[in-house]
Structure 1
Amino acid sequence: MLPDLLSKLYRFGLPALILLSITAVSAQQNEPQEQEETTEKAPDTYEYASPSYRIERSKINISEPVSRETLQRDDLSHYLKPANVMPLLAGPEDFITLIKNELTGNSKGVAILLPDWQQGATAANSLNYLRKVLPDQGWTTIAIQPYEKPANYPSIALKPEQQQEENNTSLEQYREKLSAMMTAVMEKAKSYPGIFLVIAQGSHAAVLTDLYQQEKVPLPNALVVLSSFMPTAEENQAYAKALAQTELPVLDISLKRDHPLAITNAGLRRAHADKEMKASYRQRILNNFTTGYYPEESLLREINSWLRYEGW
Structure 2
Amino acid sequence: MVLAALIKQRTRLALSISVLGALLISQQARAAEHIAPTPWSTITSSDISRLTPHGEIKPLQVGEDEFISLYREYMSAEQRGVVLIIPDWQNLPTNNAGINFLRTHLTDFGYTTIAMTVPDINWQASTEQRTAEDGNNTEEATDEQKEVAPESNSEAEKEAAETQTDTSENEVTPKHVDALAYINDDVIDDYKENLVARFEALYQSALDEGGKIVLIAQGASAGVLLEHYASFPNNNIDAFISLSSYLPNYERNQQLNTLVSTISPPLLDVFYSNDNPDLLLSVADRKRWVKRHSKYDYRQRELFGLRSEPQQHERLSKEIDGFLRRLF
The match for 2:118 is 146
Pick from 48, 53, 57 the counterpart of residue 76 of structure 1.
Answer: 48
Deviation at 1:239, TM superposition (A): 1.4
Counterpart contact for 1:179–1:216, Cα < 8 Å: no
Counterparts in 2 of 1:35 and 1:265: CA distance versus 1, 3 Å? farther
Q: Does residue 124 of the first structure (1) align with residue 96 of the second (2)?
A: yes
Pick from 151, 175, 185 the counterpart of residue 192 of structure 2.
Answer: 175
Higher mean C-alpha deviation, range 112-121 or range 215-224:
215-224
Counterparts in 2 of 1:249 and 1:78: CA distance versus 1, 3 Å? same
Once the two structures are superposed, the pairs formed by residues 236-275 of structure 1 within 5 Å of their partners are 236-275=253-292
Deviations 1:74-94 (A, max 9, x none): 111111122211111123322
The match for 2:4 is none
Once the two structures are superposed, the pairs formed by residues 81-160 of structure 1 within 5 Å of their partners are 81-152=53-124
Percent identity at matched positions?
A: 26
Counterpart contact for 2:98–2:308, Cα < 8 Å: no
More helix by share: 2
Deviation at 1:41, TM superposition (A): 4.2
Deviations 1:185-243 (A, max 9, x none): 11110111321110000011111111112133512100000011111221012212111
Counterpart contact for 1:198–1:220, Cα < 8 Å: yes
Structure 1's unaligned 5+ residue stretches are: 1-33, 47-55
Once the two structures are superposed, the pairs formed by residues 1-312 of structure 1 within 5 Å of their partners are 41=18, 44-45=21-22, 64-152=36-124, 167-216=184-233, 218-289=235-306, 295-309=312-326, 311-312=327-328
Counterpart contact for 2:98–2:307, Cα < 8 Å: no
Higher RCO structure (Cα 8 Å, ≥6 apart): 2
Q: Hey, what's the Cα distance between the residues in 2 that align with 1:273 and 1:289?
A: 27
Structure 2 counterpart of 1:270, which letter?
Answer: K
* CA RMSD, Structure 1 to Structure 2 (Å): 3.6
Counterparts in 2 of 1:154 and 1:127: CA distance versus 1, 3 Å? farther
Residues matched between the structures, number: 271
Structure 2's unaligned 5+ residue stretches are: 1-10, 131-174
Q: Hey, what's the Cα distance between the residues in 2 that align with 1:295 and 1:153?
A: 37
Deviation at 1:294, TM superposition (A): 8.3
State the structure with more CA Rg. Answer: 1
Deviation at 1:153, TM superposition (A): 7.1
Q: Hey, what's the Cα distance between the residues in 1 that align with 2:279 and 2:75?
A: 34
Q: Hey, what's the Cα distance between the residues in 1 that align with 2:118 and 2:205?
A: 16
Q: Hey, what's the Cα distance between the residues in 2 that align with 1:197 and 1:39?
A: 72
Q: Provide the TM-score with structure 2 as the length reference.
A: 0.72
Counterpart contact for 1:288–1:294, Cα < 8 Å: no
Deviations 1:109-146 (A, max 9, x none): 10100001100111111100001101111110000101
The match for 1:21 is none
Q: Hey, what's the Cα distance between the residues in 2 that align with 1:86 and 1:291?
A: 26
Counterparts in 2 of 1:209 and 1:36: CA distance versus 1, 3 Å? farther
Deviation at 1:268, TM superposition (A): 2.5
Counterpart contact for 1:154–1:231, Cα < 8 Å: no
